[in-house]
Chains A and B, each alone.
Chain A
């Protein structure tokens, strides 16, 4: 079974900011990745954190705290096209171990 925990669904308003949290297992941890997946599509890489702190890429930022086994993805200035599922995935060297995904619903 999957050992990363993230909320199953988050709802936000267009133009707002939303944070998607993720807790992970500590064994074999190299880093935390975030992926976006639209219905019927492939996962698209968003960001990767190997060290504590914040990584910013445009409207998306990702944070990692290794001491808390915790990370989050922050999406700013939400647009309708951001409606998708977001996955955190633990980099365990050879493989990615995935959470079950968070469905982001954006309302106008």
Chain B
């Protein structure tokens, strides 16, 4: 039973570029949430996808967008990258639109913007 998988694991981008991160949820899970974790801090909620729709969004600009596919996998897109976007991006999967109960996390994508 595969857990949450994210790709790529590491990424280096230049300021102004665009990036797409991918996530496959744990088998049987239908809800995907994305978090940004800066070094030495707790994760910050970006948004949640359930039934292919963005259900709730954290305090992130419109440069951050996402998508959920019929197979429940998800993508996070970030446009016009800033140095401050450098962080670990975590995908969490859960069930039934609930994002807080026993959310399982992938290993994350380490994004470095130079």
Number of A-B contacts (CB under 8 A): 74
Residue pair B99, A45 in contact (C-beta under 8 Å)? no
Residues in A whose Cβ lies below 8 Å from that of B13 = none
Answer whether residue B42 sits at the interface, using C-beta atoms and an 8 A cutoff.
yes
CB closest chain-B residue, reference A33: B100
Residues in A whose Cβ lies below 8 Å from that of B101 = 30-31, 33, 48, 91
Option from B41, B42, B58, B90 in Cβ contact (under 8 Å) with A95:
B58
Residues in B whose Cβ lies below 8 Å from that of A94 = 33, 48, 55-56, 97-100
Which of A45, A91, A96 has the largest number of chain B CB atoms within 10 A?
Answer: A96
With A43-B43, A94-B56, A96-B43 in contact, is A31–B105 under 8 Å at CB? Answer: no
With A92-B100, A98-B42, A98-B43 in contact, is A44–B56 under 8 Å at CB? Answer: no
Answer whether residue A101 sits at the interface, using C-beta atoms and an 8 A cutoff.
yes
Residue pair A98, B44 in contact (C-beta under 8 Å)? yes
Residue pair B42, A93 in contact (C-beta under 8 Å)? no
Question: What 0/1 pattern do residues 78 to 103 of A give for CB contact below 8 A with B?
Answer: 00000000010111111111111100
With A94-B48, A96-B43, A101-B41 in contact, is A45–B104 under 8 Å at CB? Answer: yes
Residues in A whose Cβ lies below 8 Å from that of B98 = 93-94
Residue pair B102, A43 in contact (C-beta under 8 Å)? no
User: Closest Cβ of chain A: how far from B100's Cβ, in Å?
Assistant: 3
Question: What 0/1 pattern do residues 39 to 72 of B give for CB contact below 8 A with A?
Answer: 0111111001000000110100000000000000
Residues in B whose Cβ lies below 8 Å from that of A101 = 40-42
Answer whether residue A41 sits at the interface, using C-beta atoms and an 8 A cutoff.
yes
User: Closest Cβ of chain B: how far from A28's Cβ, in Å?
Assistant: 10
Residue pair A48, B45 in contact (C-beta under 8 Å)? no
Given contacts A30-B101, A42-B90, list 19 more A-B pairs with CB under 8 A. A33-B100, A33-B101, A35-B105, A42-B106, A44-B105, A45-B103, A45-B104, A87-B42, A90-B100, A91-B101, A94-B33, A94-B48, A95-B33, A96-B33, A96-B45, A96-B99, A100-B41, A100-B42, A101-B42
